[in-house]
Amino acid sequence: MNSESCVFLWEKQVDALCIIAMSSKPPLMTVDELRRRIESLEPSAQTHLSYYAKWACALLGCLRERGLVKEEDIARQLGITKASETGARETPFAKNDTVRVKSFDFACTWRKPHLRTPGYIFGQRGVVEEFIGCYANPELVAFADPKLASPKCRLYRVRFLMRDIWTPKGADFGGEDSITAEVYEPWLELDDGSATHGDDGAPAPKRSKVHHHHEHHDHGDHKHVSPAETEENAVNREGAPKAGQHLAEATIRLAVDVANLATKETLRAAIERTESAGQSTLGARIVAKAWCSPEFKARLLEDAPSAIKEAFGAETSNDTAPTKLIVVANSPNVRHLVVCTLCSCYPRTVLGHSPSWYRSRHYRAQAARDPRAILRMFGSEPDASTRVEVHDATADCRFLVLPERPSNTEEMSEDELSKLVTRDSMIGVALCCL
């Protein structure tokens, strides 16, 4: 749970672009719009896309809606050619051709698609009954510029055997019972019967060739590897690309090269500012000062933004939206824990970037349902007599936990004390100690 995953450059770029969009005057996108667009993604995309890939989908939807990028720009960046858009074949399918309906990966879509092919025939084999004609593909028309003519697409009526679609789910079908569906050509491919398919009718995935490197390899005679091997090893350590990475990288190119949301230099500078904020010691300095000054602590618990502004000259509202910081203090009888169950709201200006585990579904669900289990995972579970209070940052408040001061630190200076304060202790999952 408390291990940090690698944050890639594209994730930092998406984060920075969203901040730029939300802090522009007037805002190009709001925090609430970001949330709403993420919530409107397909359920499969919600489950499988990585955190910042979802952000990228939301940003791309915003750029498209504002007219800053066009459908053809998106198609070009995603590698969708005109032929694949129209599904044009040199020759149309003929009556009695055996075809297979392509499967669809909802987890790889940047927005909820408008599909006119029912899911129960994804990956299924059928026979062409007749060619209906050429029509504008509704799956493209639904998102196209109404002023532009949509390319025509061939439409077929395809017959499927019921037993192929629904068996072995126990339905009682006659041997030749069938169902026909109208399917546009982009969804169809000739089936010669040579492909190997799983139970769902979709092609069985190919096994990737992976060479497993183990830490216990004993290289007695040290050997210098070539630059190519070094690069390969680095890629292996990074692991497979995160889900939706290609969508995010396309969005970055569109935002910079087409929408002019930022230049490469302003994007780099925005990332640098964010990373510098992540290295800030402001949160630790706030805690240390509260440990040393009862007056400041009382003021902090009463009105954190004003107290921090007066003592440190720092603003506590997030840069993406006006937020209010609330500080809650641990005591021998009470432990506080911070979470955002709806997304991942976090006091960025005080603590910098949120850790990956804080954004995970597991933490967000478990912290609200079983906070003691979370604290146990981090090795800081309180005894039964200590009350645990969870603070769910579901709107415009951001929370900072004021941990208890460790014992035997009476002679330490404020600067020395600040070095004992950790990010995790200010989220509430850990304690401060010598």
- 331-360, pLDDT tens digit by residue? 999 999 999 998 889 998 899 888 888 988
Which residue did the predictor score with more confidence, 325 or 394? Answer: 325
Residue 197, class by beta-carbon neighbours within 10 Å (0-12 exposed, 13-18 middle, 19+ buried)?
middle
Predicted pLDDT at 86: 47
Which residue did the predictor score with more confidence, 135 or 78? Answer: 135
Domains of the chain: 9-79+243-275 (no CATH), 97-194 (2.30.30.50), 280-427 (3.90.330.10)
Predicted pLDDT at 58: 94
Q: With 60 as the cut, is the pLDDT of residue 151 above it?
A: yes
The pLDDT confidence band at residue 216, using thresholds 50, 70 and 90, is very low
Q: Are 426 and 349 within 8 A, CB to CB?
A: no
Predicted pLDDT at 222: 40
Task: Give me the mean pLDDT over the 227-248 stretch.
Answer: 60
Q: Are 250 and 273 within 8 A, CB to CB?
A: no
Q: With 80 as the cut, is the pLDDT of residue 213 above it?
A: no
Of the chain, the percentage scoring pLDDT greater than 90 comes to 48
Provide the annotated active-site residues: 340, 343-345
**H, E, C per residue of the chain:** CCCCCCCCHHHHHHHHHHHHHHHCCCCCCCHHHHHHHHHCCCHHHHHHCCHHHHHHHHHHHHHHHCCCCCHHHHHHHCCCCHHHHHCCCCCCCCCCCEEEECCCCHHHCCCCCCCCCCHHHCCCEEEEEEEEEEEECHHHHCCCCCCCCCCEEEEEEEEEEHHHHHCCCCCCCCCCCEEEEEEEHHHEEECCCCCCECCCCCECCCCCCCCCCCCCCCCCCCCCCCHHHHHHHHHHHHCCCCCCHHHHHHHHHHHHHHCCCCCHHHHHHHHHHHHHHHCCCHHHHHHHHHHHCHHHHHHHHHCHHHHHHHHHCCCCCCCCCCCEEEEEECECCEEEEEECCCCCCCCHHHHCCCCHHHHCHHHHHHHHHCHHHHHHHCCCCCCCCCEEEEEECCCCEEEEEECCCCCCCCCCCHHHHHCCCCHHHHHCCCCCCC
Predicted pLDDT at 241: 66
The most distant pair of C-alpha atoms in the chain lies apart, rounded to whole Å, by 89
Average pLDDT, the chain: 82
Place of tokens 């190919």: 206
The pLDDT confidence band at residue 325, using thresholds 50, 70 and 90, is very high
Predicted pLDDT at 158: 95
Predicted pLDDT at 318: 82
Q: Token digits for 265?
A: 């230099």
Question: Please, what sign has the CA dihedral across residues 61, 67, 70, 73?
Answer: negative
Rg (C-alpha) for the chain, rounded Å, is 28
Question: 123: closest CA among 82, 183, 49?
Answer: 183
pLDDT tens readout for residues 155-192: 999 999 988 888 665 456 667 788 889 999 988 999 87
Task: Give me the mean pLDDT over the 289-301 stretch.
Answer: 98
Predicted pLDDT at 147: 47
Q: With 80 as the cut, is the pLDDT of residue 362 above it?
A: yes
Predicted pLDDT at 356: 84
Q: Token digits for 164?
A: 């192929």
